[in-house]
Amino acid sequence: MALPERKLQSIEEFIGRFPSAKEVMIDGTERPIQRPKDQQKQKNHDSGKKKCHRSQHLIMTDSDKRVLVLSKAREGKVHGPSAVGRAKNW
């Protein structure tokens, strides 16, 4: 979801919304969450590399380090680059 409150459906829409962004960086960040009680949800939120349960966000920034786009929280099991490929819209 783009800040403030809009989903982006295409690259053209992104360029129209952020015309000054010449370079864009995409990164993922993890946030710790409480361990879910349901076993399947535990597996989905287990990041695998850290010993706690996490949710992930994808962040798109420009070269001035301004946050342009912040995705919804995703399961901690999904790695950053594969989450970018799975994202249908931001």
User: What is the rounded CA–CA span in Å between residue 3 and residue 69?
Assistant: 6
Torsion of CA 79, 82, 85, 90, to 10 degrees: 0
User: What is the rounded CA–CA span in Å between residue 68 and residue 90?
Assistant: 11
- Cβ distance 61 to 68 under 8 Å? yes
Region label for 14, one of left (φ > 0), alpha (ψ between -120 and 50) or beta (otherwise): alpha
pLDDT in tens, 29-39: 777 777 767 77
Region label for 65, one of left (φ > 0), alpha (ψ between -120 and 50) or beta (otherwise): left
User: What is the rounded CA–CA span in Å between residue 53 and residue 49?
Assistant: 10
pLDDT in tens, 41-69: 766 666 666 667 777 778 888 988 888 88
